[in-house]
Amino acid sequence: MNKIRIAFLGMVCSVLMIPAAIAGTLDTVKSQGFFNCGVSQGVPGFSNPDENGNWSGIDVDVCRAVSAAIFGDPDNVKYVPLTAKERFTALQAGEIDVLSRNTTWTLSRDAQIGLEFAGVNFYDGQGFMVRKDSGITSAMELDGASVCTNLGTTTELNMADFFRANGMAYEPVVFEKADEVVNAYDEGRCDTYTTDKSGLAAQRTKLADPDAHVVLPETISKEPLGPVVREGDGDWADVVRWSLNAMIEAEEFGLTQSNAQTTCALTSNPVVARLCGKEGGTGAGLNLGESWSYDIVTKVGNYGDVYERHVGENTPVGLARAGSPNASYKNGGVLYAPPAR
Amino acid sequence: METDKSKIGSFIFNRSVQGIFYQLITLGLVALGIYYIVTNTARNMLERGLASGFHFLGVESQFDIGMTLIDYSPTSTYFDSFIVGLLNTLLVAGIGILFATIIGFTVGIMRLSSNWLIAKIAEAYVEILRNIPLLLQIFFWYFAVLRALPKPKQSLELYDSFFLNNRGLFIPDTVFGEGSSIIFYLLWLTIIISIGIFIWAKRRQNRTGERFPAFYVSTTLILGTFFVSLAATGFPVSFEYPELKGFNFKGGVKLIPELVALTFALAMYTASFIAEVVRGGIMAVSKGQTEAAKSVGLKQNLILRLIIIPQALRVIVPPLTNQYLNLTKNSSLAAAIAYPDLVLVFAGTALMQTGQAIEIIGMVMGVYLFLSLFTSLIMNLFNRFMKVDGER
């Protein structure tokens, strides 16, 4: 009886010791020496573990950039794989500090569920994948189709909008985990698989015969994907936002992972000098060291480096950047970072 | 002075006073804990800009659901999606319980068979199924079902009206035309009369000892009246046949493979536990009962029906209730294979779109709690009904 009583008192005390509000994520992160980054359970090119459990991808590189900016080391990150359904709760509950898991920026997510979007690291749109032998060439031919997709995504809403707007019927088949969607589509449960086009390209590499499938030309939605933090902690949001912006601006001004060391030593361009941490004092404003952006570029790379490394044309995912919204605004895309000054 | 001190002492060291004191402290701490959790949650939600309250239930959901027992579209409200999910959960739990009971009783009785092969088959069934995690079994049946079935264009068919493919089982839908309501009234009437016949037959048997073939008489009455009235009204029932249109079959009733796989897995898994409960229950009836029944000349099937089963049921029902509750709660694993149950639709999609985790999870927990308590209530009533008169 006494033991039970003590155990109970212990429980009550431990509840009382939980801090009332988690304040100052940046300070907490600095003192514990790492932060938790929520990623997918495996989307090639975006966030995917290799056989040794090392994560890579453009979403992972956002977290690595944040880590490089804070610690000068891109690997002080603990990755937490999450389903689409779990991701926001994990962030709200403080289980993760940054959510970098191909998450679409929408009004309701920004305004209602306590999230703050720190930017966009990939402009995407929803599409459909079908079997080549089905003979379908357009999404408008999908009347009556069974559609496989993921739970807890904007995808579910977009496809409802799309079929409703075009007066077509369909049968949604909604799975909790991405791997199960791919599996069920591969087994023939559905006529088509819908998600963000980048996701389709990535998941296609997991199919039994990737060449037997084709992504239809239509894009039925806007999906700006980006890193997310908890609402109500502006300092932390700033660190994540500007880590991403620095990668984009470094590319704009020709500062790459391979040339950063020499360029920084020789540069006379003030923008590059600021990115190199030689002048401007941008680090102080973010409560970071002055070499924060230099560390990002040298240890993780600029946006172009990261893109080509994980999702570019020479990777299995193979998404051409030229002509897509993800090209720099100077090349006809919409990638445009506010000045880091 | 001396007496005062000892009075206080005897009060403080009184065991029941101490007991009350500790209980008050515990109660106070619990209340404090709850107060702390509630206010802290509310404050944190406000700080992080989380929406709260139940207004979202009246808002259009804007998503579709693959299988709905009521009319539902993206313009229906979140509350409608809650009802759709709830009905789908009830459907799979109901069918699952029915099949689990049938399989479980069969296997349980098979295990007691004196035939070595039958007993061993039943034992293997129980040992294999109850020792493999349910989630794996669900995946197994789902992907086994999907892989085994053909594409819609190569459907297996029966009489051009039943079709089976990897999109589901399509069966003709019955459409009741004008004048068919009279058939249902007659059906209900004959069912009520049959119940009357059963009660009368039992009373007569208690009074005189004579038996009356109530089962055959009432079955003939119900089926006879049904077919006669069907013929008399000129068959106002028609069938809507499924037809292959585009990707898939349209019309008729459709059973999706997710429902089939989930029901199958739940029923098979739970049946392995029910089989053990049934075996235990039957073995709990002492052998002397069978021998006594034989000595008064009862036939084998009557011994089972009148002597063994009524006594065994009293042992079986309470643990059986547990298994029914488990099955209902386990049905929430539906989310893994895309069966749109309450957890997938409401605690999944609706939660994601609104972000109102506390309200939605609260409602879902409430539903499962209610379902469990309701099942317990029904089974307790049944148990009381099965008790031998005069027993405590």
Model confidence pLDDT, tens digit, residues B213-232? 888 888 888 888 888 877 77
Residue B392 has pLDDT above 50, yes or no: no
Domains of chain A with CATH codes? 23-123+225-329 (3.40.190.10), 126-221 (3.40.190.10)
d(CA B46, CA B146): 47
Q: Which of the residue ranges A94-98, B40-44, B278-282, B376-380 would you say has the lowest mean pLDDT?
A: B40-44
Closest CA relative to residue A268, chosen from A248, A253, A258, A283: A253
Q: Is B166 on the interface with A (CB under 8 A)?
A: yes
Give the tens place of pLDDT for each residue, A288-301. 999 999 999 999 99
- B388: confidence class by pLDDT, cuts 50, 70, 90: low
C-alpha torsion A11→A14→A19→A22, nearest 10: -80
Average pLDDT, stretch B352-378? 89
Please say whether the beta carbons of A297 and A259 come within 8 A: no
- B2: confidence class by pLDDT, cuts 50, 70, 90: low
Q: Average pLDDT, whole number, for chain B? A: 85
Closest approach of B16 to chain A, Cα-based (Å): 15
Q: Is A160 on the interface with B (CB under 8 A)?
A: yes
Please say whether the beta carbons of B249 and B242 come within 8 A: yes
A6, A16, B22, B44, B381 from A13: Cα distances, Å: 10, 5, 17, 20, 43
DSSP 3-state of B255:
strand
Closest approach of A187 to chain B, Cα-based (Å): 6
Report CA Rg, chain A: 22
Paired tokens of A89 = 């709760």
- pLDDT for res B79: 93
The position carrying tokens 């984009």 is A248
ipTM, 2 dp: 0.75
Pairing of strands A145-150, A115-117: unpaired
How many residue pairs from chains A and B have C-beta atoms closer than 8 A?
140
Which residues of chain B have a CB within 8 Å of the CB of A113? Answer: 50-51, 354-355
- B330: confidence class by pLDDT, cuts 50, 70, 90: very high
Q: Is B146 on the interface with A (CB under 8 A)?
A: yes
- pLDDT for res B24: 92
Average pLDDT, stretch B4-20? 77
Select from B22, B151, B245 the Cβ nearest to the Cβ of A144. Answer: B245
- pLDDT for res A194: 93
Which residues lie closer than 8 Å to A341 by C-beta, 6 or more apart? A271, A274, A280, A282
Subunit contact A114:B246, Cβ cutoff 8 A? no
- pLDDT for res A5: 55
Residue B332 has pLDDT above 50, yes or no: yes
In a mutational test of the B interface, the residue from A156, A185, A228 whose CB has the highest number of chain B CBs within 10 Å is A156
- pLDDT for res B215: 82
Subunit contact B26:A171, Cβ cutoff 8 A? no
Select from B37, B167, B348 the Cβ nearest to the Cβ of A151. Answer: B348
Between B234 and B24, the higher pLDDT residue: B24
- pLDDT for res B228: 82
Q: Which residue of A has its CA nearest to B167?
A: A189
Residues in chain A with pLDDT < 70? 1-23
Q: Is B64 on the interface with A (CB under 8 A)?
A: yes
Q: Average pLDDT, whole number, for chain A? A: 88
Subunit contact B355:A16, Cβ cutoff 8 A? no
Q: Is B45 on the interface with A (CB under 8 A)?
A: yes
- pLDDT for res A21: 46
- pLDDT for res A20: 41
- pLDDT for res A338: 93
Subunit contact A160:B250, Cβ cutoff 8 A? no
Subunit contact A157:B353, Cβ cutoff 8 A? yes
Subunit contact B336:A177, Cβ cutoff 8 A? yes
Between A72 and B154, the higher pLDDT residue: A72
Which secondary-structure segment (H or E) carries A123?
Answer: strand A122-124
